[in-house]
Amino acid sequence: MAAYEAALEAARAVYADERADEAALQAAQQSVQQAALALSFAQGDVNGDTEITIVDALMTLQAAAGQIELSARAARAAAVTDDGVSAAAALAILQYTTHQHMVW
């Protein structure tokens, strides 16, 4: 969230600057859009590649075992069960990828 707020504040400064040219305005807009995109997530899409695959299940399992640390966005995406980032969540994602869809 801090990155989004920083991008938004910088964009406000650019928009308030009467000397800002079109390129600066577009760059500011793009920066805010990228920061907003980084905040978005789809449940199960842990690596953020817009697909839910076995890689997402593996990352969730590794995080649950303490082998890797997930970003805040990735952790929200991995928490598809009531117990958050867990082996159960990894299993649910894996079952989803093998078309044994579970509702989360």
Q: How confident is the model at residue 29 (pLDDT cuts 50, 70, 90)?
A: very high
CA-closest candidate to residue 44, choices 74, 21, 22, 66? 74
Spell out the alpha helix ranges (H) of the chain: 2-16, 22-39, 54-64, 72-78, 87-97
Q: What pLDDT score was predicted for residue 52?
A: 93
What does the alpha-carbon distance between residue 65 and residue 58 come to, in Å, rounded to a whole number? 11
Q: Which of 28, 37, 70, 26 is nearest to 80 (CA)?
A: 70
Average pLDDT taken over every residue of the chain: 90
pLDDT in tens, 36-51: 876 777 899 999 888 9
CA-CA distance, 25 to 72, in Å (whole number)?
29
pTM of the model: 0.62
Both structure tokens of 26: 């577009």
pLDDT of residue 87: 97
Stronger pLDDT, 11 or 36, i.e. the higher one: 11
pLDDT score for 79: 95
